[in-house]
Structure 1
Amino acid sequence: MKRFPLLLLLLLQALLASSENGYELWLRYNKVEDKTLLQVYRQQLTGLLISGNSPTMDIVRKELQTGLHGLLDHSIPLHTSPQAGTLIAGTPQNEPLLRNTAINEQLKNAGNEGFVITTSLINNKPCTIISANTDIGVLYGTFHLLRLLQTQQSITKLNIVSAPRLRLRMLNHWDNLNRTVERGYAGFSIWNWHTLPDYIDPRYIDYARANASIGINGTVLTNVNANATMLTKPYLEKAKALANAFRPYGIRVFLTARFSAPMEIGGLKTADPLDPAVKQWWQQKAKEIYQYIPDFGGFLVKANSEGQPGPQDYHRTHADGANMLADAVAPFKGIVIWRAFVYSHTNPLDRHTQAFDEFTPLDGQFRKNVMLQVKNGPIDFMPREPFHPLFGAMPNTPLMMEFQVTQEYLGQATNLVYLAPLFKEVLESNTGNDYTVAQVIDGSTSKDTLTGIAGVANIGNDINWCGHPFAQANWYALGRLAWDHSLSSAGIANEWLRMTFTNNQHFVDTAQAMMLASRDVYVQFTNPLGLHHIMGTGHHYGPAPWVNDQHRPEWNPVYYHKADSIGIGFNRTTTGSNALAQYQPKARQQWENLSTCPDAYLLWFHHVPWDYKMRSGRSLWNELCYQYYTGAARTAAMQQTWNKLQPYVDQQRFHEVAMLLNIQHKESVWWRNACLLYFQTVSHLPIPAGYEQPSTSLEYYKSLRFPYAPGI
């Protein structure tokens, strides 16, 4: 009887040891699994010499002590002078040992945020050195060295010089003041506005640490559908508290500005950007914000889009509105990020064309501290869409990329969809001017000093931050590509898997292949062949290609697929909306001819007959059926793949992913059946023999309702 409690305790301990909840993200610092490599690391890293007493250098010291203790499984002593195996971290300003060496020459290429990691002799002692021009650069270098250890790389002869390719590397939180998150699928907002500014949740620090580990240096705290209350004194005090917590990690706070704020909280009768009283109000508001947050980054603005107020309400241009705000923050070295996501239900033209038409005439008219934030594609974060034509059309305006990390149109938090291939597909697209989208946004083509990438965050207060365990990889990928867009999707997945799960090669190879295919699988069972925007309205969950009752025409899926008895697809050639004319000739050549347009974009640019013969030899209708059925089958294969990896994964996360993959497979069948049953009603063609016929009617799928779907 006495042994029973002990056995129960041991069993409980064993269960806890085999479970992880995902809170640590990719910063787990578990003991290095390879015993031979572990011994090498221990010989190479015998102590720490860390100079500087700033809050950032205190973080460097703590991170190295914590990380090395976990990875090497023993404490690392602090040295006061270099010995064989000492890890030295600092800047030439705070560590004399790093002056007058070859490192200084390398630091010229590191900039303000980059770092140098070398294996060098210091006082004739072999040492590993992390050096930078600034303390934050040392912190970035610290995380990079720890990443090498986590992924079991050699650190014997290091000679690394790394600097970010982009100045602004940001997360955009679509978080509301009531803690709901628009398009959020991982719980409520992590910002507890009610307890701020006096209560600093440790999660805020962990958030900043995770971002710093991948080089993210900016955060927009609030929804682009802005609330003017955020600019009032009580909420500026709350924002100040967060800014103070983030500052040592190199993260600057930005806020969304509601254009009508002078009227809503300022008592003015107008928000006209050319009105002197409005200009003065924003100037005073900017001065007030900088008194609270001296390093405030600036404003992100959504204006005259989807009902948001803006300068066009007063017959002014987007440049008029952006410049008015830019002048207000310019004395404090702040910037304005003006979103180019604009479209109007009163505009009868193709939604694809509207942003281009509105902004290209304004090229060169924006202040030097204004950036245009452009979504990766011309519609709205679709599972696959061509790059936005603005990236090849505004050489005199800094353009910032906006990706969506949260999976609004990509299965939300129930689907495993790794987004680095989507990001890379866009970044590597040739604009038609002999340079890529990546070269546009990193300033290579224009020498812009304002450069950046923003990602709409997928972070909530779920214990694992992102809802789906694999959704963490998209946050990670955004940061890594913002630092260096030349990194590969495979390389980023490899890093993330090793740091988040295990370095076991079989696991990494198998899971990496599944991740790399996952986005293509999702496109295949939801929006194949260039279909787009056929999801449920409002919540955007699941298929609804039949919807045609929304009061705004461009919110109806039928607007986009245009399926009829003849065929399916949106004609954007010269005989249709001519949206293709907005691309440079070399870019549009790949899409304008029906016979040469890649299958991936066929129905995006062309209305194609149902009996059109595809490259596969199948008719368009049969190809559509093939894509939907193949995509659903591939989700079943993902389940089988994951089940075989159970021996390599802790039980908690294994079962979480297994359950979610089961949901994903069910949803893939839902998409397949609902879409094909609907398209049958206009094509009047049968689903080919040999495919499992839908067992549920179209009317059943049409009847489904999701009044409490997350993210609305």
Structure 2
Amino acid sequence: MRLPRLLLIICAAIGLTSPAWADDGYDLWLRYRPLPTAVRAQLDSRATAIVAGDRPSPMLAAALGELHRGLEGLLGHPIGSGEGSGAILIGTPRSLPVLATLNLPLGKLGGEGYVIRSLALGGKPITVIAANDDRGLLYGSFALLRLVQTGTPLDQVDIVSAPKLTLRVLNHWDNLNGHIERGYAGDSLWDWWKLPDYEDPRYTDYARANASIGINGTVLNNVNAVAASLTPDYIAKAKALADVFRPWGIKVYLSARFTAPIEIGGLTTADPLDPAVAAWWKAKADEIYRSIPDFGGFLVKANSEGQPGPQDYNRTHADGANVLADAVRPHGGIVMYRAFVYAAQDSHQVDRTKQAYDNFKPLDGKFADNVLVQVKNGPLDFQPREPVSALIGAMPKTPLMLEVQITKEYLGQATHAVYMGALFEEVLKWDTFTKGRGTTVAKVLESQKISGIAGVANSGNDRDWSGSTFNQADWYAFGRLAWDPQASSERIAAEWAAMTFTPDPAFVRAVVAMMMTSREAVVNYMTPLGLAHIMGTGHHHGPAPWVHELARAEWNPVYYHQADAIGIGVDRTASGTNAISQYAPPIAKLLANPKTTPENLLLWFHHVPWDYRMKSGRILWDELALHYQTGVDQVVAMQRQWQALKPYVDEERFAKTEAFLTIQLHEAEWWRDACLAYFQTFSKRPLPAGVPAPAHPLSYYQALDFPFAPGH
């Protein structure tokens, strides 16, 4: 409920204002609330006017509109009504010739990089946003607003920035019926039924949010694609979205179903080496580009989880990718071909975590030069913690595109506060050793001629976009790390907190501390010490390590923990599946021995006895149980931290986060109790001191059923 305006005025007059206004989270990190008086005064001196060249392009017009919107919100008054004499100059050396006289380092910034510099010109303080292209001006405008929002004095600004990755793309797993696969923030943003005739204003706000963090592409439809997405009706709908997104620097892409030539093309085959199939794909690409001249290209999931693909015709994945790549090549398009594959048949004899490498490594150098092989960060499936996929760095002749999941399919879904930025950074800093020590995932990606990263989007039509305020941080962190994969996730968290709530240092420090422990907490109470994929079947909600009766071995959680009377974990050394052989020799050597394997991945690579002595001096069983308890304790600590921050947060977002932390605690306790009750049937050992007995017998947890859980 909003306070009446008169009451707000009275409260302000007597000094009783607090951040208690209603705030539903719609504005994300682009809130642009008035800054403290002292900060506004400094900004006023440099924001008397915004100067740009004549006849701005639609993209520059978007940038100028955002600058006015942001600065006027932060100042609390219109641009030009302050007492300063300075100005903000925005342009390229062509559009504002004065910029060519300032010796700005634009030479190596490409089309998306920018310079922001404060200096004196004609005796007056100015701040320059300069770039080689309007794309750089757009990103530079948002960067300037970010600096102001986070309290950086403009008289000290001197920034040169350019993205280190070419393609920074969101993958929307959105279906044409409006449902989102693995979506936890309502239904799809795209109202396909009303498109193309009605363009929801929210599409523009979505584009603004993405542009503010440097995202430059979006795949509109689910990787589990239907052929209808490529029909004329849906191409027209995609065109409408592309037209909205274009001024914000965002290209649209479509997921392509491999058998579309049969399903909507009237052919009898989708064999990629059949000339008629190649001709059909070329004609379809031409049709799309006539409607969307800057169409980005196709995303493909093939021969995985029942999807059709080239192997159905005894062809390779390179054959399948290249026929699509040839179709979009004349238009400058690309193909992102997912490496998330595992056999259509039961893989009981083949470690599922090896299959992407086994399928794609032999094809290195056989893909067209406008194909990127899109590789999940881990060899399994977006678990709370996995080792990095061995495929990253192992295909030097093939551009690889990292895929991460922003939506939290396996990490508590919408309600658990788990800062994914910490996970993304851990992946990007993993040393592949593929070209010697220091060859991190980030450096592998950055070294490629075509480079990119994809994030499975967490946005939906919930009013707060992402299902919770703290889920917004994951979207934000993805974009910022896509721009600079070597950036600090902790610093990014501080930016987000300052922009989303308040730049007050006391608040920011406390929230960042909470965020930076949250990912480790979920690993502890779900899958400690390298456990993985022990979630409920289908919906992946809650613990179910006991599931064993599903038709295929790798669909069962028991496949991933292999607990027995001796111990727990999967032997992936030479005596087991030998998955370690896929890694560079220094890593393989490290992982071959449980004593040198990082303990946070121990059970991923080794079947370890219950009495195995850990580095702490405790036996494995005690260590496992205490990790589960630590995860619960960390959520309790997060609750305390959030309660202490109540004076800084508006009532609506505070209450929602408070409620979600309560859910998270209950579910963390459920995870602890259910998993320990089950694993104790094998260990036959008592719980260590400090770990309470499960609240219910194992049969209680095994009987829980969630047929209507989100994400099913």
* TM score, norm. by length of structure 2: 0.96
Counterpart position of 1:283: 282
Q: Is 1:581 aligned to 2:581, yes or no? A: yes
Counterpart position of 1:436: 440
Counterpart position of 1:363: 364
Structure 1 residues 11 and 155: CA distance shift in structure 2, 3 A: closer
Counterpart position of 1:683: 683
Structure 1 residues 437 and 257: CA distance shift in structure 2, 3 A: same
Counterpart position of 2:38: 36
SS in 1 for 2:175: coil
Counterpart position of 1:101: 102
Counterpart position of 1:622: 622
User: Structure 1 CA distance, aligned partners of 2:689 and 2:133?
Assistant: 66
Shift of 1:41: 1.4
Counterpart position of 1:58: 61
Q: Is 1:261 aligned to 2:263, yes or no? A: no
Shift of 1:695: 2.1
User: Structure 1 CA distance, aligned partners of 2:282 and 2:4?
Assistant: 68
Counterpart position of 1:417: 418
Alignment of 1:49-88 (within 5 A): 49-51=51-53, 52-77=55-80, 84-88=85-89
Counterpart position of 1:498: 498
Structure 1 residues 202 and 355: CA distance shift in structure 2, 3 A: same
User: Structure 2 CA distance, aligned partners of 1:709 and 1:402?
Assistant: 25
Counterpart position of 2:210: 211
User: Structure 1 CA distance, aligned partners of 2:197 and 2:94?
Assistant: 35
Contact 1:214–1:476 (Cα < 8 Å) also in 2: yes
Counterpart position of 1:538: 538
Give the counterpart letter for 1:184 in structure 2: G
Shift of 1:19: 1.6
Contact 1:47–1:78 (Cα < 8 Å) also in 2: no
User: Structure 2 CA distance, aligned partners of 1:340 and 1:528?
Assistant: 27
Contact 1:441–1:451 (Cα < 8 Å) also in 2: yes
User: Structure 1 CA distance, aligned partners of 2:123 and 2:221?
Assistant: 52
Counterpart position of 1:673: 673
Shift of 1:94: 1.4
Q: Is 1:372 aligned to 2:373, yes or no? A: yes
Counterpart position of 1:47: 49
Give the counterpart letter for 2:360 in structure 1: F
Of 23, 31, 53, the match for 2:26: 23
Give the counterpart letter for 1:343 in structure 2: Y
* TM score, norm. by length of structure 1: 0.96
Shift of 1:157: 3.2
Counterpart position of 1:91: 92
Structure 1 residues 67 and 261: CA distance shift in structure 2, 3 A: same
Give the counterpart letter for 1:25 in structure 2: L
Contact 2:20–2:649 (Cα < 8 Å) also in 1: no
User: Structure 1 CA distance, aligned partners of 2:5 and 2:249?
Assistant: 48
User: Structure 2 CA distance, aligned partners of 1:486 and 1:689?
Assistant: 41
User: Structure 1 CA distance, aligned partners of 2:6 and 2:46?
Assistant: 41
Shift of 1:15: 11
Give the counterpart letter for 2:413 in structure 1: Q
Give the counterpart letter for 2:589 in structure 1: Q
Counterpart position of 2:182: 183
Give the counterpart letter for 1:182 in structure 2: E
SS in 1 for 2:89: strand
Counterpart position of 2:385: 384
Structure 1 residues 100 and 10: CA distance shift in structure 2, 3 A: closer
Shift of 1:699: 0.8
RMSD: 1.9
User: Structure 2 CA distance, aligned partners of 1:464 and 1:412?
Assistant: 15
User: Structure 1 CA distance, aligned partners of 2:690 and 2:277?
Assistant: 67
Give the counterpart letter for 2:667 in structure 1: E
Shift of 1:693: 1.2
User: Structure 2 CA distance, aligned partners of 1:328 and 1:507?
Assistant: 52
Counterpart position of 1:648: 648
Give 5+ residue unaligned stretches, structure 2.
none
Query: Residue by residue, what CA displacement relative to the aligned partner does 1:42-86 show, whole Å, maximum 9, x if unpaired?
Result: 11222111224211111122111111111112211399xxx9411
Q: Between Structure 1 and Structure 2, how many residues are aligned?
A: 699
Counterpart position of 2:554: 554
Structure 1 residues 575 and 151: CA distance shift in structure 2, 3 A: same
Give the counterpart letter for 1:685 in structure 2: R
Counterpart position of 1:300: 299
Contact 2:18–2:647 (Cα < 8 Å) also in 1: no
Structure 1 residues 9 and 37: CA distance shift in structure 2, 3 A: closer
Counterpart position of 2:319: 320
Counterpart position of 1:169: 168
Shift of 1:691: 2.6
Counterpart position of 2:310: 311
Give the counterpart letter for 1:42 in structure 2: D
User: Structure 2 CA distance, aligned partners of 1:16 and 1:640?
Assistant: 19
Counterpart position of 1:635: 635
Shift of 1:95: 1.5
Shift of 1:101: 3.1
User: Structure 2 CA distance, aligned partners of 1:39 and 1:655?
Assistant: 33
Shift of 1:124: 4.6
Structure 1 residues 69 and 498: CA distance shift in structure 2, 3 A: same
Alignment of 1:103-252 (within 5 A): 103=104, 106-252=105-251
Which range moves more in the overlay, 459-468 or 697-706? 697-706
Give the counterpart letter for 2:66 in structure 1: E
Give the counterpart letter for 1:46 in structure 2: T
